[in-house]
Amino acid sequence: MTLAPDSPSKPRRRRLLRLPALEIQQGPNRRVYTFAIDGKQLPDIATVSRIRRDDATKLHGYQRPESLAHVGAIRRYLDTDPSPLLPNAIVVAFDERVRFRGKKSIDEDRPAFVRHGTIIIPVVVGAGEDEKPGFIVDGQQRTAAIRDSRLDEFPICVTAFIADTHADQRSQFILVNSTKALPKGLIHELLPEASGALPASLMVRQLPATLVERLNYSKKSPLHQMIQTQTNPKGLIKDNSMLRMLETSLDNGALWPYRGDTAGPNFGCMLSILNNFWQAVSEVFPDAWGIPPRRSRLMHGVGIIGMGVLMDEISHARGSADQITSEEEFAADLKAIADDCHWTEGTWPFPDGPRAWNGVENTARDIARMQEYLIGRYRQRIGGRR
């Protein structure tokens, strides 16, 4: 029988791992640490923080699942090459339990931003994953390959930083991996809870990514768990389609007045508009709602982005500076063009030629064609009434 880690019959051994290290100062507030460690020991002090959501839909972790094929290829290299070499450093985020003890130096030629010393890492034998002081930010596949290899030991280089919060760890994970072939969906899902400086291209997506998260995981949302993300792979609507729809509205549509360039975004107003509109869409087009995109172009990127522009158009026609278009108002205007929409059957009578209902694709040309058609029909049906 295996005793539980906290069993009084077998107390867990605690020790401090002391390793020679360099501390490098980057800017006024950042310090990174470089040291060597046996790769077989790394899993004792650092874990892989898998991205997941708990029962309350709170986001945890940030790493994608382990790629068995990639791990296997690295392991075979380690086990078969007589002189294997993995020169790139593993990047680890430590919590505040890890500390660095610098040594006084009389070397006047040493750069001011570098000092040598000892990094001190607590180790608890048999500790659970959540108890380890480190999280692997980059290098999980190499770490797993070393762990599974037949080698008795394999020293590796580690570059580490100390981050007190998971938000800071997520931000650094995004920065480290943003130039690699990392799934965009993973970055998009991490953005709402990342902090600190991010590239401009990602900062632009942080607000729409936050809206996607709230639409997807609020039980009051008509889009509850309908958006496909890393933690919700069964969603029907591609997250990138929702992001593009939201970005357009934030740029010059219904959401623009509430993005808060100086005072911060007004999520309450933005979510009211979005919930009202998509609830109305679900009621006006029940046969096309909540089914796979191959059976409904409403759930397809071309439909989501096209309807987003229609949301902006209706809001502009209906609303005012201090009034949000209601669900009933959205539904009334959508009903006026319901017979003009061919989400699941029939033919789209586009001005440049008819297209089968499922002949429109998520391309720039078809998206523009759909937007122009929906706006044109809306203005034609509603224009004379107001």
Q: Are residues 216 and 342 both part of a single domain?
A: yes
220-238 residue pLDDT tens? 999 999 999 888 889 999 9
For residues 189 and 209, is the Cβ–Cβ distance under 8 A? yes
Indicate whether 2 pLDDT > 50: no
Q: Are 155 and 208 within one domain?
A: no
Strand partners, 92: 136, 160
Within a domain: 41 = yes
For residue 10, is it within any domain? no
Residues 154 and 239 in one domain: no
Residue 4 — pLDDT band, cuts 50, 70, 90? very low
Q: Across all residues in the chain, what is the average pLDDT?
A: 84
| Whether residue 224 sits in one domain with residue 93 | no
199 within domain boundaries: no
Q: Classify residue 183: in a domain, yes or no.
A: no
Q: Give per-residue pLDDT as tens, 268-326.
A: 999 999 999 999 999 999 999 999 999 999 999 999 999 999 999 999 988 765 689 99
- What pLDDT band is residue 386 in, cutting at 50, 70 and 90? low
Domain count, the chain: 2
- Entry pTM: 0.58
The string over 260-275, giving b where at least 16 C-beta atoms fall within 10 Å of a residue's C-beta and e elsewhere, is eeeeebeeebbbbbbb
Distance CA 167, CA 190 (A): 9
| Domain stop point among 115, 137, 164 | 164
Residues 296 and 376 placed together within one structural domain of the fold: yes
| Full domain range(s) for residue 68 | 18-164
In a domain, 58, yes or no: yes
CB 337 within 8 A of CB 381: yes
Amino acid making up residue 5: P
Asked whether residue 171 is assigned to any structural domain, the reply reads: no
Give the residue from 164, 192, 222 where a domain finishes.
164
Mark whether 253 and 381 lie in a shared domain. Answer: yes
Residue 252 and residue 151 share a domain = no
Reported as a pLDDT band with limits 50, 70 and 90, residue 9 is very low
Contact between 46 and 132 under an 8 Å Cβ cutoff? The reply is yes
Q: Indicate whether 193 belongs to any domain.
A: no
309 and 374, same domain (yes or no): yes
Q: Which two tokens stand for residue 195?
A: 């902090």
SS (H, E, C) the chain: CCCCCCCCCCCCCEEEEEEEEEEEEECCCEEEEEEEEECCCHHHHEECCECEECCCCCEECCECCCCHHHHHHHHHHHHHCCCCCCCCCEEEEECCCCEEEECCCCCCCCCCCEEEEEEEEEEECCCCHHHCCEEEEECHHHHHHHHHCCCCCCEEEEEEEECCCHHHHHHHHHHHHCCCCCCHHHHHHHHHHCCCCCCHHHHHHHHHHHHHHHHHHCCCCCCCCCEEECCECCCCEEHHHHHHHHHHHHHHCCCHHHCCCCCCCCHHHHHHHHHHHHHHHHHHCHHHCCCCCCCCCCCCHHHHHHHHHHHHHHHHHHCECCECCCHHHHHHHHHHCHHHCCCCCCEECCCCCCEECCCCCCCHHHHHHHHHHHHHHHHHHHHHHC
The verdict on 88 and 210 lying in the same domain is no
Tokens of 48: 């892989």
Which of 181-185, 233-237, 376-380 shows the lowest per-residue confidence on average (mean pLDDT)?
A: 181-185
**Same domain, yes or no: 155 and 220:** no
Domain boundary among 116, 142, 164: 164
Q: Are 81 and 147 in the same domain?
A: yes
Residue 211 burial by Cβ neighbours in a 10 Å radius (0-12, 13-18, 19+): buried
Beta-bridge mates of residue 359 = none
Same domain? For 112 and 58 the reply is: yes
Read off the amino acid at residue 43: P
pLDDT in tens, 76-98: 989 998 889 999 999 898 988 99
CA atoms of 154 and 242, how far apart (whole Å): 45
Residue 188: inside a domain: no
Q: Of 130 and 346, which is predicted with more confidence?
A: 346
pLDDT digits (tens, 9 = 90+) for 117-134: 999 999 877 766 677 888
Q: CB under 8 Å to 248, separation ≥6 — which residues?
A: 305, 308, 309, 312
